[in-house]
Amino acid sequence: MIKTPVYMDYHATTPVDKRVIDAMMPFFTEHFGNAASLQHRFGWIAKEAVEIARKKIAKAINAQPREIIFTSGATESNNLAIKGVAHSLRSKGNHIITTQVEHKCILESCKALEADGFRVTVLPVDKNGKVDVDDVKNAFTDSTILLSVMFANNEIGTVQPINEIGKVCAKKGIVFHTDATQAVGRIPIDVEAMNIHLLSFTSHKMYGPKGVGALYVRSKNPRIALEAQMDGAGHEHGLRSGTLNVTGIVGFGTAVQIAMEEMDEENIRLFWLRNRLQEKLMRIDQTTLNGLSVERLPNNLNITFHNINSDQLMTEMNDIAVSAGSACTSEEIGDVQYSHVLHAIGLNGEAGRSTIRFGLGRFTTEEEVDYVADRINNVISKLRTFSAVGVL
């Protein structure tokens, strides 16, 4: 018997793993010290817990612990990376490059910098949401200081050619930032081998708590200098002032450790479940898969059900949690926005508003996949029948 509602919106957020909760619990009550209070044992314990988590998180991307800066989440990390580099390197240039399919916090940060006198080039992507490395090369100018390209897209799952892009940036001496929010814990990442200078990610996408994230800042070859975006007592090497969320950081570290230990086995399972769901849904008439079929997040599926309004579809199947796009762009309940990512890959407004994103995860079962596929098939048949007879 399937327990409803069935959750298939793991790109928006994930439930906290019980093992993560167990690791966090003592830091709510017993070990509640401030990690900056180093005059007594409570502070020492908190500080040690933070540094243990920092090591776990650094190890996951082949970074040094000192290169991990804790933030409130990926949005803050992205803002700190984009604005911090721009302001730090302003004397060397004022040109920033990004792509059409970035998260809104990247695009909005770039807009804010444009208002401050910076020039921004937004590169197009192909029909699968992939940026052309030649377009990246051709966009470079003598004043280019930063390139920001998302590692794996949060809507259509497309994985970008990060290795090639990193090599180009290293050769040109341009700072390379990637928003790896959806990638860490799902795709092997090596910031050294990939020539990544700045990398953003967050806890709640990998079965950790909300409200805590991290920014990797390369410390050598080359050392990346950032201008802090928040004034205060100079926590986190002066880059992010504010009392550390010790409990959240402990959970974050545990979540990353679990994700890395189980990634290979979990990816095999998720590939299989995703492909099973995809095969069943693509049997429905007038459906289109969005994004790459291979170079794609293992748990992502984005499908357009043509001539079906996604808002109406989700209303009819309210026992299933899916999404019509990024959770970060939803303005109010039931208000389905035409995704800028879908627009960038060539979908018109009608097709964009007929698209559903499925995000599978650690607790998704085969039975749930089959249930979702059957429910969607039945609901779409019903909606199309009603439409044909003029009821809708």
So where are the chain's domains? 6-14+263-388, 18-257
Provide the β-strand partners of residue 70.
214
Q: Tell me the pTM.
A: 0.95
First and final C-alpha spacing in the chain: 32
Distances in Å between the Cα of 165 and the Cα atoms of 147, 177, 194, 343 are 9, 10, 8, 24
> Which parts of the chain have pLDDT scores under 50?
330-336
For the stretch 319-373, pLDDT in tens is 999 998 655 554 444 444 679 999 999 999 999 999 999 999 999 999 999 999 9
SS3 content of the chain, % helix, strand, coil (to 5): 40, 15, 45
CATH class of domain segment(s) 18-257: alpha beta
Distances in Å between the Cα of 110 and the Cα atoms of 69, 106, 193, 216, 303 are 21, 6, 27, 20, 29
Q: What is the pLDDT of residue 392?
A: 54
Mean pLDDT of the chain: 94
Question: Does 328 qualify as catalytic in the annotation?
Answer: yes
Catalytic pick among 105, 110, 169, 328: 328
Q: Distance between CA atoms of 375 and 369, rounded to whole angstroms?
A: 10
CATH class of domain segment(s) 6-14+263-388: alpha beta
**Fold agreement (6-14+263-388, 18-257):** no
- CB neighbours of 331 closer than 8 A, spacing ≥ 6? 337
Instruction: Give yes or no for a contact between 15 and 329, defined as CB atoms under 8 angstroms apart.
Output: no
- CB neighbours of 65 closer than 8 A, spacing ≥ 6? 51, 54, 55, 58
Q: What is the pLDDT of residue 335?
A: 47
Residue type, 76: E
